[in-house]
A and B are shown apart, each in its own frame.
Chain A
């Protein structure tokens, strides 16, 4: 022990690599927790750089802002549904003497009589909107670039769970101020819960501690909102970040980047300065928004009253898809079977549809893996165009989500564009089935076209706009060939081919076990990989250059039937 400390000190004095306070601190910590090895392992760890990697950071930083502003709010918010009268001498004038719950009264009072109270409320609300938005977009980035592939499937699930939890955080937080909007939000939640077969009525009773609204729900939501849900999110954030460190970040394809290396900048100093700086930017922007842009001015809505509702009211954006889903559903499918009421007109849009959408999202990495049967680790991201089917599925998914968002604002759309509400609703009812199919087809076309475009550029170079004349009087455009670094981005990717159908019966006519599953997998695989464009090969380039500039690119999709090998080409 003394030996280490002595050498640590002597290292600091004899050869001052770092200033003494630093070496002293490191030495102190090293001897107690082994800090030097941690620094050795982490300080110069390489992180790849790309703007889209900031999306996850925005989510993280807005979560921190939520924690900080939330702590401020807890100091002044009173989570009670006891009825009080708003003080006669407090602002705003419109609320003076009005009967309301303590929760509502304290929210209003903190907005007008706590310096910075309104600012913190507004920061908190804007941060909540940004938090969920950045998480969703971050997830889209992960989806479309294939960052969820092995070995990151589990971290994908961690992120997915955080998304669900953040929706719950938003739902519980939105309910706390106990204004007309939040009360009706709770009421809709109550109606949805009641539609659950058999236990729904009891679940509603459990949430509200009796009948809606009762006096328990806000204290309960409060505990969920400030303790349980943020606690869970925090734990998952820690796990998420640990796994990012442990598995190292993915990187976009580029020259010199492979599945066996990481190209980027060291954690200390570049990444720390950029990421740390970015935290302050997010915080700063949210604080500015909170200072300038009013949000959820609850005193304009008034305290909750079960007889009141405001027309044209919108939930926060991340709940809008549910609202839209409820609005689109026709009312007919409610049935009474043997005296039991099955309310499919609520259950399908509010439980089944979101359930399906989220299951697809959560299960996607596993679906794709089953289809590719790809056992390898992937650290270089896909360019979305090169995974046409995945990209198209994602786009189709998004189109459903967007239809639901529009449906959630159909009344605003109707008044804004002077259209009939019923007509819009009917149009959206059709669109929700048709649009995903159309979007799928179009996106796939676009992806394949972009791949063909890549081939063309690789084969013939960039157009320069300069036209020359040959000796025999013909005109041609000068093309600038790609250098090998730019070319690599367009030719380096792996192309999957459909799994080959293994015969269901062996040579002796005996059925193989699992033949059915294999059939299913093969047809899925064909769905995913039948249409594809192969990247340019050196031979093709040589041929193209040999044939001169007038060559027309060959890049039509090849079809499974023409292939003999099931193997893919590799990076």
Chain B
């Protein structure tokens, strides 16, 4: 049965047997007579092709030599960017033309000088047929018989169990260690969290973290925040802190002063801004890019990654794009000297959503 489809010309079982013999179909006419190249009969043309090919190989040789010479002659340890450019260029040309020459010459050789008559080879079906299959089945049966596995369910179970468990002793330590302490609760708080007994340089009253300019790390006076200009903010003293990049990746904040009349603030957040100055997390609530662009006319913050747009005057709610949630707001106030500090951490995790976010 399984042999049947190998025997018909195109091997479709739905062909009713001798369909291909019916005169209503054209017959395959067989290979077209070969057309010879000019060079096959005219030795002059063949000779010209040969010279051409030799010439191309020659270009390759020259290019390779040029590249090597360039390597030795062009120093890159000088304080001169031009040399770097030149070295790259010369080596690239040398390597490129050296390789390209070999390739073009070889292909040209194959096309112009090698025999170009098409040859035919037979194909055989992948399967050697049902007789061989039968033999294979028998061998499998005999092998299984010799292994004596039939009617030994406990043995089979033992093999399966051992094979399933052993790899775990490799995988569990591998995966277990990859996640270090697995403490995903770290996602939920940032370096803005008030502390006790903090350095007064960094914390107002040793408690509330000062806002500082990124990257200068200098405190920010509310009076210096000009109208409608964006200020990039980090927690004061962050660059000296342990896990600086991880903390920065969560704690970066944008500060803007807008006309207080424009601000739509909910009553519970009325105390979170200061004199029209609002602070929002810079980490996009979509998948976490820094929200970097501010449009002064519309008071919109735009994330350049996928263009989520947030309205600064309206609690940084999403007005367009793939993010769902508003940017978390950082509650701020000023100290006696007019420096801005955070009165609390964000009241929700910053950045992209994750399954346990609300827990």
Interface set of A (CB-CB < 8 Å, partner B): 45-46, 89, 91-92, 111-116, 118-119, 122-123, 151, 184, 187-188, 190-192, 194-202, 204-207, 209-214, 247-248, 255-266, 269-270, 273-274, 276-292, 305-313, 323, 326-334, 336, 339-343, 345-346, 349-350, 373-379, 410-411, 421-422, 425, 484-485, 487-488, 491-492, 494, 536-539, 566-571
Contacts of A375 in B (CB 8 A): 5, 11-13
Which chain A residue lies CB-closest to B110?
A: A273
| Given A210-B181, A213-B246: A307 and B12 interface contact (C-beta under 8 Å) | no
Whether a CB of chain A sits under 8 angstroms from the CB of B263 is no
Which chain B residue lies CB-closest to A308?
A: B290
| Given A205-B182, A331-B322: A341 and B249 interface contact (C-beta under 8 Å) | no
Whether a CB of chain A sits under 8 angstroms from the CB of B184 is yes
Contacts of A278 in B (CB 8 A): 103, 107
Contact B23 A342 (CB under 8 A): no
Contact A212 B249 (CB under 8 A): yes
* Among listed B27-35, B135-143, B165-173, B265-273, interface-contacting one: B27-35
Whether a CB of chain A sits under 8 angstroms from the CB of B222 is no
List the 9 closest A-B pairs by CB distance, nearest first.
A291-B92, A191-B287, A284-B100, A277-B106, A376-B11, A280-B103, A288-B96, A256-B31, A281-B103
Contact B356 A201 (CB under 8 A): yes
Give the residues from 304 to 326 in chain B that come closer than 8 angstroms, CB to CB, to chain A. 304-308, 318, 320-325
Bound CA–CA A250/B36 (angstroms): 25
Among the listed A310, A373, A571, which residue makes an inter-chain contact with B304, where contact means beta carbons less than 8 Å apart? A310
Contacts of B32 in A (CB 8 A): 255-256, 485
Contact A291 B14 (CB under 8 A): no
Binary per-residue interface labels of chain B (225-262) against chain A in the complex, 1 for a CB within 8 Å, 0 otherwise? 00000001010000000010110111010000000000
Contacts of B339 in A (CB 8 A): none
Contact A118 B84 (CB under 8 A): yes
| Given A112-B84, A329-B322: A184 and B305 interface contact (C-beta under 8 Å) | yes
Contacts of A309 in B (CB 8 A): 289-290, 292, 304-305
Give the residues from 113 to 158 in chain B that come closer than 8 angstroms, CB to CB, to chain A. 114-116, 118-123, 125-126
Which chain A residue lies CB-closest to B13?
A: A375
Contacts of A330 in B (CB 8 A): 322
| Given A122-B88, A306-B252: A262 and B288 interface contact (C-beta under 8 Å) | no
Which chain B residue lies CB-closest to A91?
A: B81
Among the listed B77, B184, B293, which residue makes an inter-chain contact with A113, where contact means beta carbons less than 8 Å apart? B77
Interface set of B (CB-CB < 8 Å, partner A): 5-6, 8-16, 19-20, 23-26, 28-32, 71, 74, 76-77, 79, 81, 84, 87-93, 95-107, 109-111, 114-116, 118-123, 125-126, 175, 178-182, 184, 186-187, 214-215, 232, 234, 243, 245-246, 248-250, 252, 282, 286-290, 292-293, 304-308, 318, 320-325, 351-359
Which chain B residue lies CB-closest to A45?
A: B121
Contact A568 B104 (CB under 8 A): no
Which chain B residue lies CB-closest to A312?
A: B304
Contacts of A283 in B (CB 8 A): 99-100, 103
Main secondary structure of the interface of B (DSSP, over half): loop
Contacts of B351 in A (CB 8 A): 191
Among the listed A116, A119, A192, A210, which residue makes an inter-chain contact with B246, where contact means beta carbons less than 8 Å apart? A210
Contacts of B6 in A (CB 8 A): 377
Contacts of B353 in A (CB 8 A): 194-195, 334, 341, 343, 346
| Given A184-B305, A291-B88: A212 and B287 interface contact (C-beta under 8 Å) | no
Contact A274 B110 (CB under 8 A): yes
A34 nearest CB across to chain B (Å): 21
Contact B10 A494 (CB under 8 A): yes
Contact A265 B118 (CB under 8 A): yes
Contact B28 A255 (CB under 8 A): yes
Contacts of A112 in B (CB 8 A): 76, 81, 84
Among the listed B24, B179, B243, B322, which residue makes an inter-chain contact with A202, where contact means beta carbons less than 8 Å apart? B179
| Given A91-B81, A375-B11: A263 and B120 interface contact (C-beta under 8 Å) | yes
Contacts of B118 in A (CB 8 A): 263-265
A149 nearest CB across to chain B (Å): 11
Selected A-B contacts with CB under 8 Å, 11 pairs: A112-B76, A263-B119, A273-B107, A277-B104, A283-B103, A284-B97, A485-B32, A492-B26, A567-B19, A570-B12, A570-B15
Contact A379 B354 (CB under 8 A): no
Contact B14 A566 (CB under 8 A): yes
Among the listed B81, B115, B289, which residue makes an inter-chain contact with A188, where contact means beta carbons less than 8 Å apart? B289
Contact A327 B358 (CB under 8 A): no
Bound CA–CA A532/B30 (angstroms): 27
| Given A288-B97, A538-B24: A190 and B288 interface contact (C-beta under 8 Å) | yes
A207 nearest CB across to chain B (Å): 8
